[in-house]
Amino acid sequence: MARQKGDYIEGRDLMVFVDTPGGSGEPTWTKTAAATSHTISYSAETKERVTKDTENGAFSQKSVTKLSVSISVEALTTYQADCGFKSLLKMFKGRKPVKLKYGFTTDEGTEEYEEGLFVITSLEESSPADDDATYSATFENTGNVETKTGDA
Protein backbone atom coordinates (compact mmCIF):
# COMPACT_ATOMS: atom_id res chain seq x y z
CA MET A 1 0.00 0.00 0.00
CA ALA A 2 1.38 3.38 -1.00
CA ARG A 3 2.24 5.85 1.74
CA GLN A 4 0.09 8.95 1.74
CA LYS A 5 0.78 12.47 2.96
CA GLY A 6 -0.03 12.62 6.67
CA ASP A 7 0.46 8.87 7.29
CA TYR A 8 2.34 8.05 10.46
CA ILE A 9 5.74 6.44 10.00
CA GLU A 10 6.44 3.47 12.22
CA GLY A 11 10.00 3.03 13.46
CA ARG A 12 10.19 -0.49 12.05
CA ASP A 13 9.71 0.98 8.55
CA LEU A 14 13.10 2.75 8.67
CA MET A 15 16.45 0.98 8.47
CA VAL A 16 20.19 1.59 8.33
CA PHE A 17 21.82 -0.22 5.41
CA VAL A 18 25.57 -0.87 5.15
CA ASP A 19 27.37 -1.35 1.83
CA THR A 20 28.91 -4.81 2.08
CA PRO A 21 30.70 -4.87 -1.29
CA GLY A 22 30.14 -7.99 -3.32
CA GLY A 23 32.86 -7.30 -5.89
CA SER A 24 30.58 -6.03 -8.68
CA GLY A 25 31.42 -2.39 -8.03
CA GLU A 26 27.77 -1.64 -7.28
CA PRO A 27 26.76 -1.20 -3.62
CA THR A 28 25.38 -4.29 -1.91
CA TRP A 29 23.02 -2.85 0.71
CA THR A 30 22.67 -5.06 3.78
CA LYS A 31 20.36 -4.26 6.70
CA THR A 32 22.00 -3.94 10.10
CA ALA A 33 21.21 -7.36 11.59
CA ALA A 34 18.40 -7.67 14.16
CA ALA A 35 18.20 -3.90 14.68
CA THR A 36 15.88 -2.74 17.44
CA SER A 37 16.51 0.99 17.19
CA HIS A 38 18.22 3.58 15.00
CA THR A 39 18.90 7.22 15.74
CA ILE A 40 20.09 9.76 13.19
CA SER A 41 21.35 13.07 14.56
CA TYR A 42 22.20 16.20 12.64
CA SER A 43 24.30 18.94 14.19
CA ALA A 44 25.95 22.16 13.14
CA GLU A 45 29.09 23.88 14.28
CA THR A 46 28.72 27.63 14.38
CA LYS A 47 30.88 30.70 14.34
CA GLU A 48 29.88 33.66 16.45
CA ARG A 49 30.36 37.29 15.50
CA VAL A 50 29.91 40.27 17.77
CA THR A 51 30.49 43.70 16.30
CA LYS A 52 30.02 47.22 17.50
CA ASP A 53 27.08 47.45 15.09
CA THR A 54 25.20 44.68 16.92
CA GLU A 55 22.24 46.23 18.73
CA ASN A 56 23.16 46.87 22.39
CA GLY A 57 25.99 44.37 22.01
CA ALA A 58 23.68 41.87 23.73
CA PHE A 59 23.09 39.48 20.85
CA SER A 60 25.67 37.88 18.65
CA GLN A 61 25.30 36.82 15.06
CA LYS A 62 25.97 33.22 14.16
CA SER A 63 26.76 31.42 10.96
CA VAL A 64 27.03 27.69 10.30
CA THR A 65 30.57 26.56 9.51
CA LYS A 66 30.26 22.75 9.55
CA LEU A 67 27.53 20.11 9.44
CA SER A 68 27.77 16.63 10.89
CA VAL A 69 25.63 13.53 10.95
CA SER A 70 25.75 10.74 13.49
CA ILE A 71 23.86 7.46 13.20
CA SER A 72 23.53 5.02 16.07
CA VAL A 73 22.27 1.46 15.89
CA GLU A 74 21.00 -0.76 18.69
CA ALA A 75 20.49 -4.43 17.86
CA LEU A 76 20.28 -7.99 19.08
CA THR A 77 23.40 -10.06 18.51
CA THR A 78 22.72 -12.91 16.10
CA TYR A 79 24.97 -15.81 15.12
CA GLN A 80 26.82 -15.34 11.80
CA ALA A 81 24.72 -12.34 10.75
CA ASP A 82 25.48 -10.76 7.36
CA CYS A 83 25.85 -7.33 8.97
CA GLY A 84 25.94 -7.89 12.71
CA PHE A 85 28.45 -7.24 15.46
CA LYS A 86 31.25 -9.41 14.03
CA SER A 87 30.94 -7.84 10.56
CA LEU A 88 30.95 -4.33 12.01
CA LEU A 89 33.93 -5.21 14.24
CA LYS A 90 35.89 -6.29 11.16
CA MET A 91 35.00 -2.98 9.44
CA PHE A 92 35.92 -1.06 12.60
CA LYS A 93 39.34 -2.73 12.77
CA GLY A 94 39.85 -1.97 9.06
CA ARG A 95 39.73 1.75 9.97
CA LYS A 96 38.17 2.64 6.62
CA PRO A 97 34.96 4.58 6.00
CA VAL A 98 31.84 2.54 5.25
CA LYS A 99 29.00 3.61 3.01
CA LEU A 100 25.64 3.84 4.79
CA LYS A 101 22.15 4.77 3.85
CA TYR A 102 19.17 5.40 6.07
CA GLY A 103 15.64 5.14 4.76
CA PHE A 104 12.53 3.04 4.36
CA THR A 105 12.95 -0.74 4.47
CA THR A 106 10.83 -1.00 1.35
CA ASP A 107 10.66 1.73 -1.25
CA GLU A 108 8.21 2.62 -3.94
CA GLY A 109 10.95 4.34 -5.98
CA THR A 110 10.03 7.85 -4.84
CA GLU A 111 11.20 7.85 -1.22
CA GLU A 112 14.02 10.05 0.02
CA TYR A 113 16.90 8.56 1.98
CA GLU A 114 20.25 9.73 3.34
CA GLU A 115 23.51 8.29 1.99
CA GLY A 116 27.18 8.94 2.67
CA LEU A 117 30.50 7.69 3.97
CA PHE A 118 30.81 7.15 7.71
CA VAL A 119 33.46 6.00 10.14
CA ILE A 120 32.58 3.65 12.97
CA THR A 121 33.42 5.62 16.11
CA SER A 122 31.97 3.27 18.70
CA LEU A 123 31.07 -0.41 18.85
CA GLU A 124 29.87 -2.14 22.00
CA GLU A 125 28.51 -5.59 22.81
CA SER A 126 26.58 -6.43 25.96
CA SER A 127 25.93 -10.01 27.05
CA PRO A 128 24.06 -10.21 30.37
CA ALA A 129 23.50 -13.61 32.00
CA ASP A 130 19.72 -13.30 32.04
CA ASP A 131 18.93 -11.57 28.74
CA ASP A 132 19.69 -11.43 25.02
CA ALA A 133 23.13 -10.33 23.89
CA THR A 134 22.98 -6.92 22.21
CA TYR A 135 25.30 -4.58 20.39
CA SER A 136 25.39 -0.90 19.58
CA ALA A 137 27.34 1.01 16.96
CA THR A 138 27.84 4.69 16.29
CA PHE A 139 28.77 6.06 12.87
CA GLU A 140 29.91 9.63 12.12
CA ASN A 141 30.01 11.11 8.65
CA THR A 142 33.18 11.80 6.74
CA GLY A 143 32.27 14.11 3.87
CA ASN A 144 28.88 14.87 2.39
CA VAL A 145 25.71 13.08 3.41
CA GLU A 146 23.33 13.41 0.50
CA THR A 147 19.57 13.21 0.36
CA LYS A 148 18.69 10.95 -2.55
CA THR A 149 15.49 9.63 -4.04
CA GLY A 150 14.89 6.10 -5.21
CA ASP A 151 15.24 2.55 -3.97
CA ALA A 152 16.44 2.44 -0.38
Compare 1 and 125 and report the one with higher pLDDT. Answer: 125
Q: What is the mean pLDDT of the chain?
A: 89
- pTM for the whole structure: 0.86
Tell me the per-residue pLDDT of 83-129, one tens digit each, with 9 for 90 and over. Answer: 999 999 999 999 999 999 999 888 666 788 999 999 999 999 999 99
pLDDT band at 54 (very low <50, low <70, confident <90, very high): low
Contacts of 77 (CB under 8 A, 6+ apart): 34, 84, 85, 125, 127, 132, 133, 134, 135
Q: What is the pLDDT of residue 116?
A: 97
Higher pLDDT, 65 or 2: 65
CA distance 32 to 148: 20
Q: Return the CATH number of the domain spanning residue range 11-149.
A: 4.10.410
